[in-house]
Structure formats: C-alpha cells, structure tokens
Amino acid sequence: MNHVPSLSSLYDRVSRVVPKAEWMFFEDDVRAILDLKRRRNAVILAHNYQTPEIFHCVADIVGDSLALARKAVETDAEVIVLAGVHFMAETAKLLNPAKTVLIPDMGAGCSLAESITPEDVALLRQAHPGVPVITYVNTSAAVKAASDICCTSGNARQIVESLGVPRVIMIPDEFLARNVAKETDVEIIAWHGHCEVHELFTAADVRQLRENHPGVMVLAHPECPPEVVAEADFAGSTAVMSDYVGAHRPARVVLLTECSMSDNVSVHHPDIEFIRPCNLCPHMKRITLSNIREALELNRHEVTVDPAIAADARRAVERMLAL
C-alpha cells in the first residue's frame, strides 16, 4: 500500500510559495483528493503550469507535454485525471482508450489548439503537395488525425530532422516553427497560430530585465517570439527549462513562461532567486483543487475521442513517441 503523506509534510513542500492563510482553505480538498485517488484507483497527471498545491501536493505524475504523454502510457490506474488543458487530456485518452480520462473543467482550452482545423490542414496539403505535416501536440485530436506525426516543444527539432526531407509543414505555432527553423537546414512552412501567454513577451522586456537584475539568467519557452528567444540565454520546453536551472544553478533566473513554473521550480531551489515577470494561462488556471475533487467524486468530465478519428490521431502521437 502506498504511503500517504501527512498534511503538514505536504504543506512543508510548498510553504515558500503558498501562504499559510491560503493553505487552510486547501487542506480539506487535499485530504479528500488523496482519499478519492486510493478509492478510485486514480492517478493525477499535472502539467508544469499547475499551481503548487496541485503540482506538489496531489499530483502523481508531473512534467511537460512530452513527459505527460509518455507517462500516460505507463500507468496501470483505471482513472486518469488530467490537471492541464483539454488537448493533454485528449492525448492521454488516445494512448489509453480503455481507461477513464477526466478533465476537471472542459473549458480548459488553448489558443494554439483553437487556431487551426482539419480543413486548414487539408488546404495546406493542397498548397504543398507531398510535404509532410508535423503537428504540435497543442491541437485537437481531429487536427492530429490529419497530420503525419506530432511533436512537442521538447522534441520539435528532432522530429523535423527525423523525416529526412528538405521541407516540412509545421503547425500551428508560428513562433515555435520559426525558432526551430533557426536550428535546422530543413525548410519549415509555418501556420499563424500563437500562444496567448508567450506571445506577450518582448525583446525589450528581456533587455529591461537584464538592466534591472544584473547577472540574471534568462530562459524562454520556444513559444515566445524569435526575437525574445534570441535575447535569452537558453530556450526549451518547460521540463527542459526546469532541468537547466537544476544543472546550472544560477544565482538569479527568470523563466519567460507561465507564472506557476517559477513557483513549482523554486520549491526545489530555495537558494536561487527567481525574478517573476510572467504571464498567466487562463486555461491552465481553470483547474483547481476543488474541481479536481469534484471530478473524482462525480466522475466528470469524461474526455472521449470520436472513433472515426482516434486511430489516425493515435498513429501521429505514437509515431512521435517511438522516436
């Protein structure tokens, strides 16, 4: 039987980023969620942008989109609760068709996933006959089904180069595509989707940060505009940024990404100063302890994938995971 941590030891984990006054409101939900997980043979997969009381206190598996997709296949739980956005839950369902996959709020979307439809993909293929379509996982299952292979921000360049062709179509994030294009000889045809969180960072922000915080190490997510990535010291997926902080241990660092990242990473590095200009993802922030508890209590909201597209979408994700 799994050891159940005490509430006080859980609070110790997050006490640097969650005020005691707030924790008092979380305790009842944390206790109930730990109990419901046992009773329902459930696991909680949480993305790096989830708030610390979710990320550090009730999640079983945490990570970037790539890690969540990989680990979704490994669990033997009957129920998966995806503390993240809808495309992540859909990916978990594609990889675990026999399991119940729940998302605590069906409205947790993504501006990138909203930016493109399967019809758009068909038009792109018509305009560029024979050019393979690489689709960022931040898309609907229907768009994945219309694609050749998926990628995440953690493996995008590797996927582009794995196809052994001179040109690829890479959808839907224009900035990710342009950032990858700088690192490879493969020609990349991009779409015009943007992440509403990362598109807000500017190169002027980075220069201002360096002026105000001398010596700061600047890490950016590759969904940021290329001019921001060019001013940063390093760019990588959320998991890669977190590993980079651990490996390089800068005295002060800024993570140009969603706000909860710094909270979650700083818990492991009390000696590092995290400078915190950040942008909130309103979709990620729809997930709370209280709706995770409701999801487990009421078995809602179940994520399903239309059988007419599931096999093709799964093929695109599995092709990525096989590399």
Residue placing its CB nearer to ligand SF4 in the complex, 111 or 155: 111
- Alpha helical stretches, state H, the chain: 7-14, 20-40, 52-55, 65-74, 86-95, 111-114, 118-127, 141-145, 156-162, 174-181, 203-212, 226-231, 238-248, 259-266, 289-298, 307-322
Interacting residues of 315 by C-beta distance below 8 A, sequence separation 6+: none
SS3 (DSSP) at 142: helix
Residue 18: which of ligand SF4, ligand 13P, none does it interact with, CB under 5 to 8 A by kind? none
What is the rounded CA–CA span in Å between residue 273 and residue 14? 16
**DSSP 8-state class, residue 275:** E
What is the rounded CA–CA span in Å between residue 312 and residue 236? 28
Beta carbon of residue 35, minimum distance to ligand SF4 (angstroms, whole number) = 29
Interface residues with ligand SF4 (CB under 6 A) are 85, 110-112, 138, 195-197, 223, 258, 281, 283-284
DSSP bridge partners of 151 = 136
Residue placing its CB nearer to ligand SF4 in the complex, 30 or 116: 116
User: With binding defined as CB under 6 A, does residue 237 bind ligand 13P?
Assistant: yes
**DSSP 8-state class, residue 250:** -
Residue placing its CB nearer to ligand SF4 in the complex, 85 or 151: 85
Residue 65: which of ligand 13P, ligand SF4, none does it interact with, CB under 5 to 8 A by kind? ligand 13P
Beta carbon of residue 111, minimum distance to ligand SF4 (angstroms, whole number) = 4
Q: State which of residues 195, 209, 255, 292 lies at the interface with ligand 13P (CB under 6 A).
A: 195
Contact region with ligand 13P (CB under 6 A), list: 60-68, 185-193, 205-213, 225-233? 60-68
Residue 111: which of ligand SF4, ligand 13P, none does it interact with, CB under 5 to 8 A by kind? ligand SF4
Ranges within 242-281 binding ligand 13P (CB under 6 A): none
Q: Which two tokens stand for residue 17?
A: 């980023």
